[in-house]
Chain A
Amino acid sequence: MASTMGIFIILSLFAFYLARFSITESRTGGYYMTDIKARNLAMTGIEHAMQSYKASRNISNVSGNFNNGNYSVSFDTQNNEAGTALPHSHFITVKSTATINDVERNLRLIISSMPEAFLFSFYGNNSGSQTFTESNGTISGDMFYNGNVESNSGTNSGITYTSTGTGGTLLSSPPSFPTLDITQYEALLTSAASAIGAYNNYALNFNSSDYVGIGSSSDINSGIHGQRTVEAWFKTNNKDSSTRQVIFEVGGGTRGLNIYIHSGRLYVGGWNRPSNESNWTPGTWIYTTSIQNNQWHHVALTLNGGSSVSTNALKMYLDGNYMTGGNGSQLWNHNPANIGRTRSGSRYHNGTGNGYTFNGKIDEVRIWNVARTANQIAAKKDTILAGNESGLTAYYNFQENTGNTANDTQTQSNNDGTISNASWTDGPTLSKMGSTAFTNTTINLSSYSNSQLLANNNLTISGSTVNGPGYIVVNGNLNISSSTTINGNIFLICSGTLTISNSQIGTGIGAPVILYSKGSSEYNNSTVYGLIISKGNSLELDGSTVYGAILNYSSSFSLVGNSDITGSVISNSSVDFQGNDASITRGNIPTFSGLNIGLDPIVVPGSYLEY
């Protein structure tokens, strides 16, 4: 019995060890399979990251999971996976790590944010079948010219070119000329072509007993109104006058709203005195002193009141900024409105009275049956309205410039005003009114819809600063001059001639600008950081410095005076150095992170690595 048991135990031990070997082998095979899966998952991460990057050079981390595994991908614009600096500024390391259970697999690729041709200092496609015979200036760094190079000219096999160079040999498999996707540029130009063109803005000048009377309307005064916004642009001749100057008034001694200037203060007021209504008495008048003589200002009054008085129901905005608020309620049925003068008696912070006329100019008067928000007021104050905006009940833009009728140009009702004595004059030049020029000002593109300044006319920017990110798109010629600074991450796009003089375009390799012109381009005594795309007949740099890249489709491309390009030049034609001071040197190119420039990134050959 004991022997039998002993034999049984020994056989069981063998069986156990055999099973263990079988499991070990199975596990080993499993590791191989998991390793393959992990590598495939890491490659999935790479693909995911590349798609994410390709759209707009997005370098945010990417992650995901699949079955039981996870992958995460990061971008490094400075170093490779070992911490060693990348060879070119526009190279980026993409690192993908995938984990399945306890198996981890790392992959990396290095991508170039620019097509391969941008690895050369000068890449000439030679569309005109010309011989490269340039003997002026200097090209430093690998150069390629798709044609004959005279022996005393440049070389095309990666040898530094000087004016006394010895020529070179044609590359057997040169990179192709970059393909530019112009979809985005053309779409923006199409938008610009449908934008408001050059807009001559008119206004009314008030003095003495001048005013615009608005008839009684359920939109404006009759019936109960709980929500109201009144906006206007005004320019006062004498803000310090001790005589009240009424910009807008609706109602009378019992109920009403008004906007007026008195002794250096701009007031916004409201009242609804009957005790059997809201008993808003004596009323609320709030003010600001932030106004100047002979300067256009935008004022807005908003009312958001109920049947009883509540706090902060009446608000005041000046130049798009909230100033202060006070008590208020809805208004019961009240008298009609006037612009520029009281109509039938009004109430003020310091009394009552009639006949007080504004001394100055008024434009863009808007009456809304909603209480507009601060953002809404700021977004629309610098532009004209279409007239069909929700809540808009009367809109006087004073664009008639003749006659005695102030048309109500909102489209849902008709509350035309009657002009009494006020005379026609020029209105303010507002940033979104199809301006033809910006001079000595600051343009914040974020204040424009979609950060796009669209101009359907020639545009001049002089002595100004432009802050991005965003777009300036001109269906016409664009002229930038007189120490204008265009800050980084801005697209300058024009369908006509682009002229830049004595200006700073982009502020560094990390803050570049993209310039796209379909007409001739000229850069005079300026500094450019970014990418110049020239699609017109000619491109000329005169005394200018470019840090970045040029993609030139023009048949005429010349460097005049002391013009230096550090980065890369890709040209459909040859280049004409008009003097020995000009140079092209292989150098840093921006990565254009977060920007869609229409050029595809590439994977650097040989950069795939598993570790």
Chain B
Amino acid sequence: MIIVIVSVGIIGSMAATMLFQGADIFVKETNRQGFVSEARSAFWRLMRDTQGQSSSADFILSDQNSLYVKNGKGDLKDFQTSSPEFFNFRIGTGSYYSLSNSLGYSQSNGFTFYDNNFNVVSPSSGGLTATQAKTVHLSKLDLTFINDIDTLSLTSFVYPHNFRFGSKMSYHD
């Protein structure tokens, strides 16, 4: 009888430990999956909208922490990174909403711009000037997302499709 009670106790203890570990794995895995999905979705959205940039002139005011794009329909979108962990987005002049709260701001290089010769176009204070923006040929997106012990760095060069067709001029409208 005693032996049975002791055995059941041992087994129960083991089961409880296993349950705890399973629950822990479950919670952590859920969080990790959520983190990965959030980071990937945010970066995916950033890439796709940058790919749709209408004209290099529309990069005006962009800098390391801000990216302004305007699509072929004329919709203005801006992406902002800010300390300590925010990556926000808005359409037009509406309110910002968060794409991710897991940004590693200090670990991210943000947005970089290159000209025809693949030289970096360094934004002036206040962002790219109109003249600087027109020289942009290529952009680089480099964001790092951090969640507890997980770090996810995503980097991509983006050459907008519209840039293949030349520069947009006033007489095209």
In the complex, residue of chain B having the shortest beta-carbon distance to the beta carbon of A171: B169
Chain B residue contacts of A25, Cβ below 8 A = 33, 36-37
Interface residues of A in 1-23 (CB under 8 A from B): 3-4, 7, 10-11, 14, 17-18, 21
Chain A residue contacts of B15, Cβ below 8 A = 3, 7, 10
Q: Are B37 and A608 closer than 8 Å at their CB atoms?
A: no
Choose among B29, B33, B72, B73 the residue with the greatest number of A CB atoms under 10 Å from its CB: B72
Is residue B130 contacting chain A, with contact meaning CB distance below 8 A?
Answer: no
Known: A11-B18, A142-B171, A173-B167. A18 touches B26 (CB 8 A): yes
Q: How far is the CB of B52 from chain A (nearest CB, A)?
A: 5
Interface residues of A in 571-611 (CB under 8 A from B): 602-611
Q: Are A11 and B22 closer than 8 Å at their CB atoms?
A: yes
Q: Are B162 and A606 closer than 8 Å at their CB atoms?
A: yes
Q: Are A608 and B26 closer than 8 Å at their CB atoms?
A: no
Which 5 A-B pairs rank lowest in CB-CB distance, beginning with the nearest? A609-B72, A606-B168, A606-B54, A605-B168, A14-B22
Contact with A along B10-26 (1 / 0, CB 8 A): 01100100110011011
Q: Are B173 and A87 closer than 8 Å at their CB atoms?
A: yes
Is residue B140 contacting chain A, with contact meaning CB distance below 8 A?
Answer: no
Is residue A324 contacting chain B, with contact meaning CB distance below 8 A?
Answer: no
Q: DSSP class of A's interface residues: helix, strand, loop or mixed?
A: mixed
* Interchain CA distance A32-B167 in the complex, whole Å: 30
Chain B residue contacts of A108, Cβ below 8 A = 72
Interface residues of B in 20-54 (CB under 8 A from A): 22-23, 25-26, 29-30, 33, 36-37, 40, 44, 48, 51-52, 54
Q: How far is the CB of A400 from chain B (nearest CB, A)?
A: 65
* Interchain CA distance A607-B55 in the complex, whole Å: 9
Besides A604-B172, A608-B52, 15 other A-B contacts (C-beta < 8 A): A3-B8, A3-B12, A7-B18, A7-B19, A14-B22, A82-B73, A119-B172, A142-B170, A602-B165, A605-B162, A606-B162, A606-B172, A608-B54, A609-B71, A610-B52
Interface residues of A in 132-150 (CB under 8 A from B): 142
Q: Are B11 and A3 closer than 8 Å at their CB atoms?
A: yes
Q: How far is the CB of B30 from chain A (nearest CB, A)?
A: 7
Chain A residue contacts of B23, Cβ below 8 A = 14
User: Within the complex, which residue of A18, A119, A606 is in contact with B29, where a contact is CB–CB below 8 Å?
Assistant: A18
Is residue A120 contacting chain B, with contact meaning CB distance below 8 A?
Answer: yes
Chain B residue contacts of A608, Cβ below 8 A = 52, 54, 72, 160-162, 165
In the complex, residue of chain A having the shortest beta-carbon distance to the beta carbon of B72: A609
In the complex, how many residues of chain A place their beta carbon closer than 8 angstroms to a beta carbon of chain B? 33
Known: A3-B15, A14-B22, A606-B55. A158 touches B171 (CB 8 A): yes
Q: Are A32 and B40 closer than 8 Å at their CB atoms?
A: yes
Choose among A3, A158, A605 the residue with the greatest number of B CB atoms under 10 Å from its CB: A605
In the complex, residue of chain B having the shortest beta-carbon distance to the beta carbon of A13: B22
Q: How far is the CB of B91 from chain A (nearest CB, A)?
A: 13
Is residue B166 contacting chain A, with contact meaning CB distance below 8 A?
Answer: yes
User: Within the complex, which residue of B19, B25, B169, B171 is in contact with A10, where a contact is CB–CB below 8 Å?
Assistant: B19
6 contacts between A and B (CB under 8 A): A3-B12, A120-B171, A142-B170, A603-B165, A607-B162, A608-B162
Chain B residue contacts of A606, Cβ below 8 A = 54-55, 72, 162, 165, 168, 172
Choose among A3, A25, A28, A606 the residue with the greatest number of B CB atoms under 10 Å from its CB: A606
User: Within the complex, which residue of B33, B54, B173 is in contact with A24, where a contact is CB–CB below 8 Å?
Assistant: B33
Contact with A along B55-72 (1 / 0, CB 8 A): 100000000000000011
Q: Are A158 and B170 closer than 8 Å at their CB atoms?
A: yes
Q: Are A605 and B167 closer than 8 Å at their CB atoms?
A: yes
Q: How far is the CB of B114 from chain A (nearest CB, A)?
A: 19
Q: Are A605 and B30 closer than 8 Å at their CB atoms?
A: no
* Interchain CA distance A106-B133 in the complex, whole Å: 28
* Interchain CA distance A607-B160 in the complex, whole Å: 12
Interface residues of A in 96-151 (CB under 8 A from B): 108, 110, 116, 119-120, 142
In the complex, residue of chain B having the shortest beta-carbon distance to the beta carbon of A46: B161
In the complex, residue of chain A having the shortest beta-carbon distance to the beta carbon of B167: A605
Q: How far is the CB of B116 from chain A (nearest CB, A)?
A: 12
Known: A14-B26, A606-B54, A610-B48. A28 touches B162 (CB 8 A): no
Chain B residue contacts of A3, Cβ below 8 A = 8, 11-12, 15
Q: Are A609 and B52 closer than 8 Å at their CB atoms?
A: yes
Q: Are B172 and A605 closer than 8 Å at their CB atoms?
A: yes
Chain A residue contacts of B37, Cβ below 8 A = 25, 28
* Interchain CA distance A173-B167 in the complex, whole Å: 9
Choose among B51, B71, B73 the residue with the greatest number of A CB atoms under 10 Å from its CB: B73
* Interchain CA distance A116-B169 in the complex, whole Å: 10
Q: How far is the CB of B39 from chain A (nearest CB, A)?
A: 12
In the complex, residue of chain A having the shortest beta-carbon distance to the beta carbon of B21: A14
Q: Are A604 and B171 closer than 8 Å at their CB atoms?
A: no
Chain B residue contacts of A120, Cβ below 8 A = 171
Chain A residue contacts of B22, Cβ below 8 A = 10-11, 14
Known: A82-B73, A605-B172, A606-B168. A4 touches B162 (CB 8 A): no
Chain B residue contacts of A604, Cβ below 8 A = 165, 172
* Interchain CA distance A604-B160 in the complex, whole Å: 14
Chain B residue contacts of A28, Cβ below 8 A = 37
* Interchain CA distance A604-B18 in the complex, whole Å: 64
Chain B residue contacts of A32, Cβ below 8 A = 40, 44
Known: A32-B40, A119-B172. A605 touches B166 (CB 8 A): yes
